[in-house]
């Protein structure tokens, strides 16, 4: 997390997408499902996108999700999940 500015919508959304389930005490469902990160991208992509949209809609109601992108990591496996978001009207 950043030293400051953690209350802005885009930073909160980015922090949520970097969190895995069971990492947050007393909020065990907050975060992406880590079991999806080891699957091949063809199988995991729709599930991860759906999970990311649910995560942002549930825990960051100030944003509207326009799209989710996944980029495979160069090392260590898994994916980098990012969201195209806009301010909810």
Alpha-carbon span 79 to 38, nearest angstrom: 9
Binned at pLDDT 50, 70 and 90, residue 41 comes out as confident
Segment 57-87, tens digit of pLDDT: 999 989 999 999 998 888 777 788 999 999 8
Q: Decide yes or no: CATH 3.40.50.1100 for domain 9-87.
A: no
In this prediction the pTM is 0.85
Is pLDDT at 49 greater than 80 in this prediction?
A: yes
Residue 88 · residue 62 · CB < 8 Å: yes
Question: How does the average pLDDT of the chain come out, rounded?
Answer: 87
**What are the extents of the domains in the chain?**
9-87
Query: Given this model, what pLDDT does residue 1 score?
Result: 52
């Amino acid at each position: 997390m950043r030293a400051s500015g953690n209350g802005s919508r885009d930073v909160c959304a980015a922090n949520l997408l970097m969190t895995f389930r069971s990492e947050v005490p007393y909020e065990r469902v907050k975060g992406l499902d880590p079991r999806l990160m080891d699957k091949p991208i063809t199988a995991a992509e729709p599930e991860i996108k759906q999970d990311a949209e649910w995560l942002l809609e549930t825990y960051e109601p100030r944003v509207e999700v326009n799209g989710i992108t996944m980029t495979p990591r160069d090392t260590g496996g898994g994916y980098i999940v990012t969201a195209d978001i806009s301010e909810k009207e």
